[in-house]
Amino acid sequence: MNLFNGFNLGFKSFFKAIPFIFKNKLGWTLLIPVILNIILYAIGFSLVTNFSSYTSEYINSSINIESQSEIIQFLPSIISWIIKISFHIILFFTFSYFGGYIILIILSPLFAWISEYSDQIINETNYPFNIKQFFSDIWYGIIIAIRNSFLELLSVIIVLFATFIPIINIITGLPAAIFLFFISSYFYGFSYIHYNLERRKFNAKNSILFIKKHKGIAIANGMIFSLSLFIPFIGIMLSGITAIIATVGATIAVNNIKDIDNYNKTTKIDFKKVNNTKNATYSHCTGRYINYK
């Protein structure tokens, strides 16, 4: 599957997930991340407001202004206003860049469950509840979210450093912002797809190779979730809704990859007639022949 076909499948699956959720009476799950996001943002807003107020009061008490100029006398108030605005802008961008991973980590039990439940509906089967497997899905979901957040942060740092390098900084700016957007979309989609691979007993290496091979699906799946985080004020609430849709969408997309189980195993093939090699092991995940004898 090439990048374009994968992107097309991921995008279509995301929007197919919306009627799927309501048709199968899963609409109530959309409220859980919304409520959580409101609580998290309220806590963050309260902490930032209190911290900025404390900082402003400290600066005001430290500045001794004896000037008769009204403009100079207003200087502490101006500084206080700038500090408060700056801290709230930092809060907004922190949620924009890392709020998605906070959602992925905290709500990993919900995403693991809804991914499995959607899979049961699609395949018209019933997986027996395995508490060990369930907590394994949650644990690896958290690990993947943490791993991806560090990789995305590393990408941001590299791009920021590139802006200080002559000649290279000419091509940064809008292209760099677009690049980082697609990177974040890929890693978000990676996390949603991984729940399906963990359920199919993919190990970490095969999961990474599989998603790299189907990166178009991952980018399309995580794109709308990534976009929602940048919408002022309501983005935090919308991101919770798009997270649920992306989880179901990833499950629909994965079930449309007919030979998915072949990506998690190797097949013994005799290539003696082809290249005078007695035995070769073909990896469907890497697309290469390995372990020649």
**Strands 266-269 vs 280-283: parallel, antiparallel or unpaired:** antiparallel
Q: For position 203, what pLDDT does the model report? A: 77
Inform me whether the pLDDT recorded for 61 exceeds 90. no
Question: Regarding predicted confidence, which is higher, 272 or 123?
Answer: 123
Q: For position 183, what pLDDT does the model report? A: 87
Question: Regarding predicted confidence, which is higher, 71 or 88?
Answer: 88
> What average pLDDT does this structure show over 61-89?
65
Going by pLDDT thresholds of 50, 70 and 90, the confidence category of residue 287 is very low
Q: For position 15, what pLDDT does the model report? A: 94
pLDDT tens sequence across 217-237: 999 999 988 888 777 767 777
Domain ranges of the chain: 3-24+99-257, 258-293
In whole numbers, what is the pLDDT of the chain averaged over residues?
Answer: 75
Give Cα separations from 203 to 65, 73, 208, 251, 264 (angstroms).
65, 65, 9, 18, 8
Q: For position 41, what pLDDT does the model report? A: 74
> What average pLDDT does this structure show over 181-188?
88
Question: Regarding predicted confidence, which is higher, 292 or 69?
Answer: 69
Inform me whether the pLDDT recorded for 150 exceeds 70. yes
Going by pLDDT thresholds of 50, 70 and 90, the confidence category of residue 266 is very low
Top-ranked range on mean pLDDT: pick from 42-56, 196-210, 274-288:
196-210
